[in-house]
Amino acid sequence: MDNLANRWKEAKTGINLPNKTAADLMVEATKKKKSVLYFHYGNIIVLMITLIVISFFFLKIAHFKTMLSHAGICLMVGSLMVRIVIEIYSSIKSKTINLEQEVSRTAQETVRFYTYRKTVHGPFTIGIVALYTIGFYLLSPEFSIYIPFKWMIMMHLSFLVGAVVLIWQIRKGIQKEMKNLNNIVELSRELQTS
């Protein structure tokens, strides 16, 4: 909670609120809320495309035969599906924050949503990425039957590079979402005092 309070103070200094009217604050809070919602929609679209592409690959191109490979496929597809469900739930939950209701209630709802999203971005995301990665590496023994060793190394190196780039992009998006949620809370509090 101290961390959240510090972030509110930082956000407040960056917003320059004293010169704004209640209507200006409401418009700004609505923009921030839309930005958070679009972040969820973007995640859902990217995850759905990824799910479709790897499902197509597993069903039409690579017909894996071993139980180990099937377990890997289940982990990869299952982890993507779980994350999609989480993002859909998050977008629904985000829509329930009503900026036009009593300001203290809006702030409480936003703080609850912020806490929920921090959990999603922490333990849930780490767990999902770990399961997906384990699934990918469970495919390696069967891949090694069909792919020369040097290409296996290239595949694993490209997976690691892709993972680093993806984690960096996800982190940037998460930081933006958390900043927007902090700003919504601060704007709600400013509305309460104006």
Examine residue 144 and state whether it is found in any structural domain, yes or no.
yes
Per residue in 94-112, pLDDT (tens digit) is 887 776 666 667 777 777 8
Examine residue 121 and state whether it is found in any structural domain, yes or no.
yes
Q: Considering its fold, how many domains does the chain have in total?
A: 1
Per residue in 120-169, pLDDT (tens digit) is 877 888 889 889 999 999 998 988 888 888 888 888 888 888 878 877 87
Judge whether residue 40 has pLDDT over 90: no
Judge whether residue 9 has pLDDT over 60: no
> pTM for this one?
0.74
Examine residue 149 and state whether it is found in any structural domain, yes or no.
yes
Examine residue 66 and state whether it is found in any structural domain, yes or no.
yes
Q: Greater confidence, 168 or 9?
A: 168
> Residue 164 is part of which domain span?
20-193
Cα separation of 41 and 1, whole Å?
A: 28
Examine residue 125 and state whether it is found in any structural domain, yes or no.
yes
Q: What percent of the chain has pLDDT over 90?
A: 20
Of 22-26, 66-70, 76-80, the range with the lowest mean pLDDT is 22-26
Examine residue 90 and state whether it is found in any structural domain, yes or no.
yes
Judge whether residue 185 has pLDDT over 90: no
Examine residue 179 and state whether it is found in any structural domain, yes or no.
yes
Examine residue 124 and state whether it is found in any structural domain, yes or no.
yes
Q: Specify the pLDDT at position 188.
A: 66
Q: Specify the pLDDT at position 8.
A: 47
